[in-house]
Structure 1
Amino acid sequence: MPNTEETLRECGRWLCHSFDILKAIMMRLIFALHATIAIVRIVVTKGDYWYLLNMCGVNFLLIELIVTIVKRKGKEPKWFSPCFFLYICTMIPPIWFLEINRINVKLGITPINQTEGDELTSMIEKGLISKANLNDKTDVVMRKKLLSLSVDDWVVAIEVTFLMTIIVGRWMLPKGKISRSALSQLLLVYLSLASDMIDLLSIFQEDKVIKNMDMVYSILAVFSWSTFQFSLNLVATRGRNFKLEPEPSNQDLENYKEQTRRNGGIKPIQTVCQKICHSELPSIFITILMQDLPFLVLRLIAVIHFEIQSYTTIFFTCKNLFILFLQFYRLWSICMEHVDQDDPIDKDALSISQRAQPTRESLNAQLI
């Protein structure tokens, strides 16, 4: 009988490892495929095969897959995800090149590449575009419009699918033993962050902004910086269990203080540091430094300096400002919860002393 139970346990462990390995392989192949499509699009747009050097990131992603299968049996690290980091590092250069190329084409700085013209010609030959609609007078104009729409569609599609792939990847590869409720909460947080990032890139629709290359580089740099928060597993807002707790009586407090003196005192600094590390303070700091604060600065510059008056930009500016105030208020409230310099009390030890008090009273009664 014990041998049968042990065999069943081994089979269950093998199935769990196999399922984790299957998910790891599937998601990393999706990452590699999406990055390859973006890199190929750069080569088609620029007409230069040197951009294929970005495929080094895809190779590193496949190497990381082998390490994950052999060393970690498909499990993800606790605090940092190498596969998300490599995927983000591989996708950022294509997004930069495609966005800058789209802006230069829109401003007329960069002429339409011959490769794009060949692509349009092949679309006409395959019947995807009717040649009758392109007469001699409107041939050049229609070509420019179609190519402009094609570039815009490709850039937007790559950016949106980039963020959606990260969210799906986090869904398929949750960190540690995370519950379904916490995972759903994490995915909702990621959707909110992704919508904010996409709206930041929509500032490129303003002509006043794209004419200033410093602002363009700043927006792309902040966007790239904010995407790295997805490689950290601290962004999820941890759930809090709220319950009513009776306030300890004065006698219990005196008994706890007397017990603390006998035990040589407690270590309030170590206790506070442990509580802060296990709280949501790290995730709040990451969200402030990697998204809310830099996004607010860029949007204020766009609204005040470049006089952008679009409703979405003004709305998201107010949203970032309001969220920033709420985040700082949350930081203050957590610090006030865990740091009480006047009377540091360990509630866990106090509850233990409260449970031990009836036992001592019953023993005294038996002795009497």
Structure 2
Amino acid sequence: MSCMSIFRAITARLLFSIHGIITIWRLYLVTKDTRYWYLACVLGFLLIEMTVTLGKKGGKEWKWFCPSLMIYLMCVVPAIWFLELHEMDRRIREKEKTTTNNTEVTYNDSIEQLSANLGSVLGVRFEIRIPLSLTSDEWIRTLEQILLLVLILGRWFLPKGKLTHDQLSQLLLVYIGTAADIIEFFEAFKEDQVKYNRILCITILGIWSLSLIQFSLVLTASRARRDQSGLVMKRESPDSETIGCCSPDVYGIIISILMQDLPFLVLRMLLIFRYSVLSYTNMFFTSKNTIVIILLIYRLIVVQIEKRNAKMKDKYGSAFDDYKNRGKRIMDSLSLAESASSGTGSSHYGSRAKLIHSVSCHSNGFLESQNVRRTITDSDKQRLARTLTMENIDTTIC
């Protein structure tokens, strides 16, 4: 175990802990409820997980699943849920108050900072202050965006484990694209039909939480979005990376559809057809999610066809390629014969073009020539047979 692996493992988990504490700190300042500090106990599992990873795995991360990212999400996501629900209740109360007074809905969001007074020692006052002055809603959006940024940086700092450098770089690019889609998803809170609807707000938060789980699925998430862009790596063996009944490609595509694209599409279509939210961004990203799902399904079909062909080639060896080439040759010669028969006198073939016999094997098990037709036995199939190609237009085809 190298010192660099230990340093990277500690740095990543320290980054997770700092953002988790800041989020809980903000929640406490808003609600003035000390019970929310119990959410910080989840960060204690990061210490246990780091001990197991450094001791048992030798500093190498797990191949298919990243437990440290999952623990981090278990701490931060509930805190953001409470912040969003508190902000939603405040908006609804303001609307009910203005509705009762028959006045227009207005907000007087004050600029707030994060600060904590640690007391004074020998007349010296100790205080922790984050120099950011934001409104309540801006604080929530900032914490949500920093969450996605920390997920990307944390995955970069973590030891790559069994991932290659190429896979890690692709995974980080995948995370950036996924994070951009998730950030845009919160733009729905700006719509009046959404921000005063409790059910829609909870639904959006639920879909957002579901989409974050894919960050903890390492190779599967990488293959899902890599397939989406068409950058598919060729494998040497069809069964070398098979997990269960399917390959990682199939798992990645299914997870990408179920955890992000399909829920996003369903919610956006619900906003359009049920709540008449016809904004430009909503229409654009609805079309985008539809196209992505179609491409992923198409990619799923291609993966299955390639897998079947790879198994056939692995089972029959070079005979499978010979079979495909011979079939292609037969179709070419038949199409050539038909075009020559219909185009008598053509300058390409001339009036004295002749049909000759070339070497190939019919896929239907019969050998056809001008005067002979007989069934090919199993032993004959190992030998070369004759089929028709173009040379003489005067010779008839049986």
The answer, yes or no, to whether TM exceeds 0.5 is: yes
Q: Give the corresponding residue for 2:205.
A: 220
CA separation of 1:242 and 1:48: change in aligned 2, threshold 3 A: closer
* Structure 1 counterpart of 2:308: 339
Alignment partner of 2:260 out of 291, 303, 323? 291
Give the aligned partner of residue 79 of structure 2: 94
CA distance in 2, matches of 1:274, 1:72: 21
Q: Which residue of 1 aligns with 2:106?
A: none
Q: 1:353 to 1:25 in 2, by over 3 A?
A: same
Tell me the equivalent position of 2:273.
304
1:41-95 residue CA offsets vs partner (Å, 9 max, x unmatched): 1000001101111011111122212222222222111111110110011111111
SS at match of 2:63: coil
Which structure 2 residues correspond to residues 36-47 of structure 1 after superposition, within 5 A? 36-47=21-32
Gap change, CA 1:279 and 1:349, over 3 Å in 2: farther
Is contact 2:145-2:183 (8 Å) kept? yes
Higher strand share: 2
Can you give the 5+ residue segments of structure 2 that lack an aligned partner in the other structure? 98-108, 117-132, 322-398
Deviation, structure 1 residue 103: 2.2
Deviation at 1:314, TM superposition (A): 1.2
Pair 1:165-2:140 in alignment? no
Q: Where do 1:344-355 residues align within 5 Å? A: 345-347=312-314, 350=317
Partner residue of 1:4?
none
1:66-215 superposed matches below 5 A? 66-109=51-94, 150-173=135-158, 175-215=160-200
Map of 1:313-324 to 2, 5 A cutoff? 313-324=282-293
Q: Do the aligned residues in 2 keep the contact of 1:275 with 1:338 (CA within 8 Å)?
A: no
Q: State whether structure 2 residue 298 is matched by structure 1 residue 329.
A: yes
Does residue 62 of structure 1 match 2:31?
no
Provide closer, same or farther for how the CA distance between residues 318 and 236 of structure 1 changes in structure 2, counting only shifts above 3 A: same
For the pair 1:31 / 2:16, whether they are aligned, the reply is yes
- 1:237-267 per-position Cα deviation (integer Å, ceiling 9, x unaligned): 2653469xxxxxxxxxxxxxxxxxxxxxxxx
Q: CA 1:30–1:225 in structure 2 vs 1: closer, same or farther (change >3 Å)?
A: same
The Cα offsets for residues 216-248 of structure 1, whole Å up to 9 and x where unpaired, read as: 1111001001101111111002653469xxxxx
Greater Cα offset, 269-278 or 162-171: 269-278
Q: Distance in 2 between matches of 1:353 and 1:318?
A: 41
Name the counterpart of 2:222. 236
Are the equivalent residues in 1 in contact too, given 2:53–2:59 (CA < 8 A)?
yes
Q: Which structure features the higher share of helix residues?
A: 1
What fraction of aligned residue pairs are identical, expressed as a percent? Answer: 37
* Paired positions, count: 285
Question: Is the 1:276–1:338 Cα contact (8 Å) retained in structure 2?
Answer: no
**CA 1:97/1:335 → structure 2, altered by over 3 Å: closer, same or farther?**
same
CA offsets 1:108-138 (integer angstroms, 9 cap, x no match): 3599xxxx98967x99xxxxxxxxxxxxxxx
1:274/1:101 CA distance change after superposition, 3 Å: closer
Q: Which of the pair has more CA radius of gyration?
A: 2
TM-score normalized by the length of structure 2: 0.64
| RMSD over aligned Cα atoms | 3.4
Return the alpha-carbon distance in structure 1 between the equivalents of residues 154 and 311 of structure 2.
43
Amino acid at match of 1:33: I
Deviation at 1:279, TM superposition (A): 4.5
SS at the partner of 1:346? helix
Cα 1:174–1:236 change in 2 (3 A) is farther
What residue ranges of structure 1 are gaps of 5+ in the alignment?
1-13, 124-146, 244-268, 355-368
State the one-letter code of the partner of 1:51. Y
Calculate the TM-score normalised by the size of structure 1: 0.69
Between 1:164-173 and 1:39-48, the stretch displaced more is 164-173
Give how far 1:31 is off. Answer: 0.2
Q: Secondary structure at the match of 1:240?
A: coil
Distance between the aligned counterparts of 1:83 and 1:352, measured in 2? 49
Q: 1:216 to 1:18 in 2, by over 3 A?
A: same
Using a 3 Å threshold, how does the CA distance of structure 1 residues 22 and 277 change in structure 2: closer, same or farther? farther
Shift of 1:195: 1.1
Cα separation, 2, equivalents of 1:224 and 1:39: 17
Paired amino acid for 1:161: I
Instruction: Please give the secondary structure, in 1, of the residue aligned with 2:276.
Output: coil
Instruction: Determine if the alignment matches structure 1 residue 21 to structure 2 residue 6.
Output: yes
Mapped to 1, the partners of 2:244 and 2:317 lie a distance apart of 16
Instruction: Please give the secondary structure, in 2, of the residue aligned with 1:345.
Output: helix
Change (3 A) 1:22 1:221: same
Note the C-alpha offset of 1:189: 1.4
- Structure with bigger RCO (C-alpha 8 Å, 6+ apart): 1
Deviations 1:309-353 (A, max 9, x none): 22111111111110000000111111122225xx95234872699
Q: CA deviation at 1:272?
A: 11
Question: What is the Cα deviation at residue 276 of structure 1?
Answer: 6.7
Alignment-mate amino acid for residue 350 of structure 1 = G
1:21–1:74: 8 Å Cα contact kept in structure 2? yes
